[in-house]
Chain A
């Protein structure tokens, strides 16, 4: 039996997009889990309706498992859920108006639920995180140094890292290589060789762009909600 995960992020309050994705998933065979990797909220529109839907799925909806993303982190920090930290990253990058706009898009009644969301999931040998284990804002892309990507995978001891922060869809596979090292201490010298393990970092996209992952075959499908693309056409092994 096919087992597929749907991976979604960057909805930023857009209930219409979420509804389109849910409709797609109903028509797609084998989808057993829906992971929403953060950025449920954003400053552009009121997010209450989407948050209500995520918390209370409609009949027939694939039940979402959500984690928090960069925008939730900013909101929760500004609302006092992160100790002394405030929405400094947002304030620095987009100014005070963006902070005010974000605060106005989410009813405070949702904050406790948002604060209860986890940083990430580990499923099988996969990590599902908004950024990386280094930081929720860690912006991993296909351009990021493979050395950094390998470090992020090593930190989690997983073979696949699904990340959303960049909003891009990509599948970067580490296929080989190695390194030699020599350690010299007061007891003498020793040589070590280490090979690059076969591991991948997958950017799942944002908004209408989402990803299906076939657990059994390790294939990734990059999709756009509402389009008629057959998942088979964009499968990457």
Chain B
């Protein structure tokens, strides 16, 4: 059976509606959302209510967490001080706009969802703020999936959709301790695991303005990255009218945030 995974809606109602319509057209009933319903975009209440009204299983994203718990991320959340200032402005604006009821909903979200050997998180099993970038250290990536007890880890947060298969892994070790001077060499065979990043519905950063999500078939394990065009201009107009930083509209209209890519793929969030 096919199920759809969406992430990082970022208060972009036209994009969220377009993606859900695309999923509906394919007759897919099961949808999982990996969080970041709010932040950056101009329609936080509308997007939260859309997810709530459709009763979509959702885990908490970093923006959702920050709105509830306050800003206390480590330095990896923003790649520059300028980006941090804009992020804080958007945080304050979103905090002012959101109704108490919608804040309560965000506060109620779990940090992860699990269906059998499928695990759904926003950033990583360690933190909503940790980036699992497509080219990060392969052993560290595998550790995240394996330690969490999953076969496939679905995540978002990077706004770049990808499917990463980690296979044919092994680690040879040699143990020496105070009791045994002799070597005890052995080889550990590592399991094959997958990380699937759903990209972003509301703020794509993969080089196109199209919203992205993924479809997974739980019988065949086939995974497809989907792109959905939507009325980007409508969202950009709403961003400007809301008084949010105009750069949010500019980067949305380019599909790539040139100044704000996480540069260090090996960074591990210390939050």
Among A15-23, A37-45, A106-114, A180-188, the one that faces the other chain is A180-188
Given contacts A146-B188, A151-B143, A186-B206, contact A180 B171 (CB under 8 A): no
**Does A172 reach chain B (CB closer than 8 Å)?**
yes
Query: Do A177 and B167 touch across chains, with their CB atoms under 8 A apart?
Result: no
- B-binding segment of A61-69, A74-82, A93-101, A163-171: A163-171
> Is there an interface contact between A185 and B138, defined as CB atoms closer than 8 Å?
no
Task: Please report the C-alpha to C-alpha distance between residue A175 and residue B165 in the assembled complex, in whole angstroms.
Answer: 24
Chain B 177-206 interface 0/1 with A at a Cβ cutoff of 8 Å (1 = within): 110010001011010000000000000001
Contacts of A118 in B (CB 8 A): none
Residue A116 lies at the interface, judged by CB distance under 8 Å to chain B: no
Partner of A172, one of B169, B174, B187, B206: B174
Nearest chain A CB to B153 CB, angstrom units: 13
Do residues A234 and B181 form an inter-chain contact, with CB atoms below 8 A?
yes
Cβ of A183 and Cβ of B162 under 8 Å apart?
A: yes
B100 at interface (Cβ–Cβ under 8 A)? no
Instruction: Give every chain A residue within 8 A of B212 (Cβ-Cβ).
Output: 186
The answer, among A145, A178, A182, A220, for a CB contact under 8 Å with B188, is: A145
Query: Does A176 reach chain B (CB closer than 8 Å)?
Result: yes
- A181 near B165 with CB under 8 A, answer yes
Q: How far is the CA of A150 from the CA of B227 in the complex (A)?
A: 36
Given A147-B139, A150-B139, A196-B139, CB of A179 within 8 Å of CB of B190: yes
Query: Does B239 sit at the interface, judged by CB under 8 A?
Result: no
A186 lies within 8 A of B225 (CB): yes
Question: With contacts A146-B173, A178-B169 known, is A151 near B140, CB below 8 A?
Answer: yes
Residue A222 CB within 8 A of the other chain: yes
Tell yes or no: A1 within 8 A of B by CB.
no
Does A154 touch B at the CB level, under 8 Å? Answer: yes
CA distance A194 to B169 in the complex (A): 9
* Distance of B28 from chain A, by nearest CB (Å): 20
Contact A169/B178 with A179-B190, A186-B227 known, Cβ cut-off 8 Å? yes
CA distance A148 to B165 in the complex (A): 19
B208 / chain A contacts, CB cutoff of 8 Å:
186
Interface residues of A in 128-178 (CB under 8 A from B): 133, 142, 145-148, 150-151, 154-155, 157, 168-178
Which of B146, B172, B181, B268 is the one whose CB lies under 8 Å from A147?
B146
- Closest B residue to A173 by beta carbon equals B174
**Distance from A190 Cβ to chain B, minimum over Cβ atoms (Å):** 9
A181/B138 in contact, CB under 8 A: yes
* Smallest CB separation, B205 vs chain A (Å): 12
Chain B window 43-58, contacts with chain A (Cβ cutoff 8 Å), 1 for yes, 0 for no: 0000000000000000
Cα(A180)–Cα(B172), bound, Å = 15
Which residues in window 186-227 of A have CB below 8 A to B?
A: 186-187, 192, 194, 196, 203, 205, 209, 220, 222
- Output the least CB separation between A31 and chain B (Å): 19
For B266, give its contact among A150, A154, A203, A209 (CB under 8 Å).
A154
Is B219 positioned at the interface, with any CB of A under 8 Å from its CB? no
Contact A222-B177, Cβ < 8 Å, known A174-B172, A179-B169, A186-B208: yes
Contact across chains for A185 and B175 when beta carbons are under 8 A apart = no
Question: Do A236 and B162 touch (CB < 8 A)?
Answer: no
Residues of B within 8 A of A173 (CB): 173-176
Highest count of chain A CB atoms <10 Å: which of B137, B140, B177, B225: B177
What are the residues of chain B within 8 A of A148 when measuring CB–CB? 143, 147
**Are A150 and B176 neighbours in the complex by a CB distance under 8 Å?**
no
> B173–A172 contact, CB under 8 A?
yes
Across the two chains, which residue of chain A brings its CB closest to B181? A234
B164 near A150: Cβ-Cβ < 8 Å: no
- B266 and A157: CB pair below 8 A? yes
- Tell whether B134 is near chain A: CB-to-CB under 8 Å: yes
- Given pairs A170-B178, A175-B172, 5 additional interface contacts (CB within 8 A): A147-B139, A151-B139, A174-B172, A175-B174, A222-B178
20 A-B pairs (CB sep. < 8 Å): A145-B146, A147-B147, A151-B139, A151-B140, A172-B175, A174-B171, A176-B171, A176-B172, A179-B166, A181-B165, A182-B164, A184-B165, A185-B134, A185-B163, A185-B206, A194-B137, A194-B138, A196-B172, A222-B178, A236-B176
Q: B-contacting residues of A (Cβ < 8 Å)?
A: 133, 142, 145-148, 150-151, 154-155, 157, 168-187, 192, 194, 196, 203, 205, 209, 220, 222, 234, 236
> Which B residues lie at the A interface, using CB under 8 A?
134-135, 137-143, 146-147, 160-178, 181, 185, 187-188, 190, 206-208, 212, 225, 227, 266, 268
